[in-house]
Structure 1
């Protein structure tokens, strides 16, 4: 059973509120319904249409055994993106997109290996046996720093099957790396974004937490459906 999108819920969550007309991107014109005062109103029929294409793609990706990487580094969205990804058992980046995170696999894998080794040695007491309290504290700080950067992707093996991006401007580097590697991107496209930069643009407000949470709920539901289909194979 595919995920059903509720237009009324999108409306109530404020997904239709775009940015000021002065900040719009011309390529968003097909997705704009009207203007209200100094802001654009997004056509929610187009949002539903976009979700009806993107959600089955997410489901198919997960059903094939691939991971979907959730990306949301803007301050107000970090917590809900992390919670959504963790609930779906998917990798995430919410603190900062490190340049080359996907394209420079050698460096990324080396940092993740270092993180795992330090965590293992901290957990089994090896560091405590070998070093004094101050040195152990420094190792803990290094673990915390590595987790801040790579913690959300340390269980990701190989490149993800897709990215889900909450803000196309804030996380443009993630989109650029995905494009470089041929990884499809599902992204919320507010009226100031260029929707042609991604394969599955979802026209919608990228600031309102209630709206972002609703869209994340749809993405998670699509992931969970994919996991169910994978188990049934």
Structure 2
């Protein structure tokens, strides 16, 4: 059964592409028709592509890797942040900093600086500096929070990246490709799907369409994590059971030894 119905996609307006004059010919296979100068996306292909993308995301999560959500356009940023937080993953919703993937070691230094700024408010530093200095620190902290807040706990590169609007987020796309990180992305009729590992043909301008697709990706992550936790619990239970069985076996072996020693003592008398 598809992860999303055609009715849901229609209701979200996922089928509306861009003006025909703005199309990318490489999107031809995903276009159903044109109406009033606008390309209409084939939603059956959207269904298939989304299911394929979801399986890829689940596989990455099951292997213990993280997902990075990226979407900085006004109609996407709140959705990206909310859905990433819901599935406990990382996100960039304000602005993509060049080098977030290709120069991650430098980004980690920026994150460390941001965390140090956060500590200043509680470690007594504010009491030792002037009001003007506190204000400057607060402004810097707020600025860094917008850019780095969604990745401050990201210790390593993500296993896969989910992107809304590949044309706007072209730097993120280029960096992910350079680092050979698989990309799942909503691809509209004006974009190039061939540079994306798991393109999802859909309207990437309508908030409802963005919300529907992004929520399905988040749902897949939650489901995959739950299965990982269940498998881990089963393995731990099996290990404990095996350990318990081993202790019982050792106890049984100990009893005959004691009996043998008792007999030997009796015979010697």
TM range (shorter): over 0.9
Please tell me whether residue 66 in structure 1 is matched to residue 62 in structure 2.
no
Q: TM-score, normalised on structure 1?
A: 0.96
Alignment of 1:83-232 (within 5 A): 83-122=82-121, 124-232=122-230
Unaligned runs of 5+ in 1: none
Give the number of the structure with larger relative contact order, counting CA–CA contacts within 8 Å between residues 6 or more apart. 1
Distance 2:40 2:89 in 1: 32
Aligned to 2:12: 13
Aligned to 1:23: 22
CA apart distance, 1:9? 0.4
CA apart distance, 1:165? 0.3
Distance 1:169 1:127 in 2: 43
Distance 1:19 1:109 in 2: 38
Distance 1:159 1:232 in 2: 25
Unaligned runs of 5+ in 2: 232-269
Please tell me whether residue 43 in structure 1 is matched to residue 23 in structure 2.
no
Partners of 2:2 and 2:48 within 8 A in 1:
no
Q: What count of residue pairs does the alignment treat as equivalent?
A: 231
Question: 4+ runs of 1 displaced by more than 4 Å?
Answer: none
Larger radius of gyration: 2
Partners of 1:191 and 1:203 within 8 A in 2:
yes
Q: CA RMSD in A?
A: 1.2
Partners of 1:63 and 1:228 within 8 A in 2:
no
Distance 1:37 1:128 in 2: 61
Q: TM-score, normalised on structure 2?
A: 0.83
Distance 1:3 1:29 in 2: 23
Q: SS of the residue aligned with 1:152?
A: coil
CA apart distance, 1:43? 0.3
Aligned pair in 2 of structure 1 residues 156, 163: CA closer, same or farther (>3 Å)? Answer: same
Distance 1:3 1:69 in 2: 24
Distance 1:160 1:11 in 2: 32
